[in-house]
Structure 1
């Protein structure tokens, strides 16, 4: 695109130490922008821990900035993070739900606190290494959030709470590229982190054992684990530590359904199906396809729509968890300020607290927090459910 001279736009890039944000910064510099890197520190409770990679990540980000030839600034958003993201995360877990802190982190830190900071630095726009795209719709005059072109890496799910003002000031340089091409560019231009593994795990917990981490903040309240017939199979460590659909770490692996016939699935794994906060009971079922794990309808509240208003009721696609294929659904507005989503095909282990995100083709429309799930019949101690 040729270098833009004195009128070049200033773009502040969130450099995480990873390869996606590094290549994003390089691409923008190639396009003639004046690029400044910012490394965000969002967590400082246990900086000396083996699981906290913040210091290593900053060294990587600084090395990238050096190779690309841009300035980098280290900014601490830990106080904002604790107030706006972590406090909400704990509240949700204590209420028995399973929140998605990455969604909150994007809405409250990366595209609020970070965006505000960038504007104070005189930036026209910010950029991140997310796999998503922004398009200005000439007909409506609105900015649209689109899926990243690499279907395996698309991160629009985590960005669905962004609004018009945020999208108007955001660039996603790698959203148009497959991950393989991003890695190739990184290697070709000699970025020191070209082969660095992608980070996984929750944004502030990293790779550490989740239950150990949560233990520090939430008191254990053990209680019974029951099956669909109401039999006690074991003891749970506290409902906050389990999520619907979970099959590892239940401690009941050897227990079989009473009276099960050979070949009838008696050796099938157990899954968490419900959490009864009032009775402090964890309900489990045997078999991935048990009716209690299937839902054709659920509601979502605390909705946020990219266009600034809810889409019209009708046929769309939705994800009720990340890494899930879009599922055809019908959007039904309801009166509580939330929405109801109805599915022809049952959705598996729909989890209150997770995000339900709505799509119209490649366009991410927004979404909300899963609230109530239409369930199979209630637990009956003597019921013989399939």
Structure 2
């Protein structure tokens, strides 16, 4: 097969490309230039898509012995990922930009271009597994639970999975670094990137403030009593405990958490941990990795990239996904993705629109 290997400049994508060559495929490496103003050097493990990263990717391609190109996708990334991220926060929601990048960039824009150039598939360094079955391809969790990235790949449909390879899904991360060193790849000890790649300093609130400006409002309790003030709702996420800057302590002396964010009236509502508990949610824009479910599902759900599995009952009604938790879940926020699993198999994902709290029935 002719395979396009997406090479970020990190150890995972470099080893993934090398494994595809070793498997006998005709491989071409490509680095995605996603930043309009790339930094010369990254700051430790923060950020990506720097000039340094592109050079690391090129050096890895030279060692592996494959052609290498850089594709400028900065405008597409800005429109589909960065602008979406800012707009979601402005609306009081909590988006996952990595999930959106996989959906819109790596397995939409890149795959479309690859197929147009007569490639058969795209390979990445994601930690997940693809299993071929008589009914099509299935997306499964990686064997290394600490590195599993199936959550952010839950947006991929059957057509995209048919043209995807994840060569690292069957291997623990510690072995990948050792393999990179054996292959003579200089990125073997390079730190993994983390946090949001386009916010290199990790200051999400500062980034959003530059984009959205200040919009002062009140911090209130569930009864509407004013407890403090803020400079913008975009500085908060549901479930947040630190940085609330409330001068008045709670009556019971226990910590308070963000329960709700309302940009329209600029209110941030806080309350106790018990008030965070959610019994059910409604989600929209489902993306199914296989056929859409037609029956009620008794499965597991994951609500954050590194969150734990939760037992749920899920139904699809008029292109919406209704999810009820077996036990109440904490800090479930509109804008997050709910990804459904049957064992290790990813069924699909949807974007959370609304939640119903357990305290609404008390």
Give the TM-score band, short-chain normalised.
over 0.9
Instruction: Give the distance between the partners of 1:46 and 1:194, measured in 2 at CA.
Output: 23
1:233 paired with 2:219, answer no
1:213-232 map, 5 Å: 213-232=207-226
Decide whether the 8 Å contact of 1:305 with 1:366 is kept in 2.
Answer: yes
Instruction: Give the distance between the partners of 1:363 and 1:377, measured in 2 at CA.
Output: 33
In the other structure, the counterpart of 1:370 is: 352
CA shift digits 1:338-371 (9 cap, x unpaired): 0111111111110100000000001001110001
In the other structure, the counterpart of 1:256 is: 249
In the other structure, the counterpart of 1:26 is: 18
Q: Which of 68, 91, 94 in structure 2 is aligned with 1:95?
A: 91
Instruction: Give the distance between the partners of 1:42 and 1:209, measured in 2 at CA.
Output: 19
1:156 paired with 2:150, answer yes
Instruction: Give the distance between the partners of 2:287 and 2:208, measured in 1 at CA.
Output: 28
In the other structure, the counterpart of 2:255 is: 269
Once the two structures are overlaid, the 10-residue window that deviates more, 181-190 or 220-229, is 220-229
Q: Which of 323, 332, 354 in structure 2 is aligned with 1:341?
A: 323
Secondary structure at 1:249 match in 2: coil
Q: Which of 129, 133, 136 in structure 1 is aligned with 2:129?
A: 133
Instruction: Give the distance between the partners of 1:152 and 1:312, measured in 2 at CA.
Output: 32
Decide whether the 8 Å contact of 2:40 with 2:52 is kept in 1.
Answer: no
Alpha-carbon shift at residue 213 of structure 1 (Å): 0.9
Decide whether the 8 Å contact of 2:42 with 2:52 is kept in 1.
Answer: no
Stretches of structure 2 that go unaligned for 5 or more consecutive residues are none
Instruction: Give the distance between the partners of 1:45 and 1:89, measured in 2 at CA.
Output: 18
In the other structure, the counterpart of 1:3 is: none
Q: Quick one: structure 1 residues 49 and 151, their matched pair in 2 at CA, closer, same or farther if it must change by over 3 Å?
A: closer
In the other structure, the counterpart of 2:286 is: 303
Stretches of structure 1 that go unaligned for 5 or more consecutive residues are 1-8, 261-265, 379-384
Secondary structure at 2:211 match in 1: coil
In the other structure, the counterpart of 2:296 is: 313
Q: Quick one: structure 1 residues 237 and 376, their matched pair in 2 at CA, closer, same or farther if it must change by over 3 Å?
A: farther
Q: Which of 340, 347, 351 in structure 2 is aligned with 1:358?
A: 340
CA shift digits 1:128-170 (9 cap, x unpaired): 00001111211xx221111111111111110111111111111
In the other structure, the counterpart of 1:121 is: 117
Q: TM-score of the superposition, structure 2-length normalised?
A: 0.93
Instruction: Give the distance between the partners of 1:363 and 1:376, measured in 2 at CA.
Output: 29
Secondary structure at 1:374 match in 2: strand
CA shift digits 1:89-116 (9 cap, x unpaired): 2221111101111111101110111112
Decide whether the 8 Å contact of 1:163 with 1:308 is kept in 2.
Answer: no
1:68 paired with 2:64, answer yes
Instruction: Give the distance between the partners of 2:60 and 2:243, measured in 1 at CA.
Output: 40
Q: Quick one: structure 1 residues 94 and 46, their matched pair in 2 at CA, closer, same or farther if it must change by over 3 Å?
A: farther
1:41-56 map, 5 Å: 41-45=33-37, 47=39, 53=48, 54-56=50-52
Decide whether the 8 Å contact of 1:16 with 1:39 is kept in 2.
Answer: yes
In the other structure, the counterpart of 1:323 is: 306
Alpha-carbon shift at residue 47 of structure 1 (Å): 4.3
Secondary structure at 2:189 match in 1: coil
Instruction: Give the distance between the partners of 2:216 and 2:41, measured in 1 at CA.
Output: 28
Secondary structure at 1:199 match in 2: coil
In the other structure, the counterpart of 1:280 is: 266
Could you say which structure has the larger radius of gyration? 1
Instruction: Give the distance between the partners of 1:224 and 1:174, measured in 2 at CA.
Output: 48
Secondary structure at 2:80 match in 1: helix
Secondary structure at 2:290 match in 1: coil
1:191-210 map, 5 Å: 191-210=185-204
Decide whether the 8 Å contact of 1:200 with 1:207 is kept in 2.
Answer: no
1:38 paired with 2:30, answer yes
The size of the alignment, in residue pairs, is 357
Q: Quick one: structure 1 residues 275 and 115, their matched pair in 2 at CA, closer, same or farther if it must change by over 3 Å?
A: same
Decide whether the 8 Å contact of 1:200 with 1:206 is kept in 2.
Answer: no
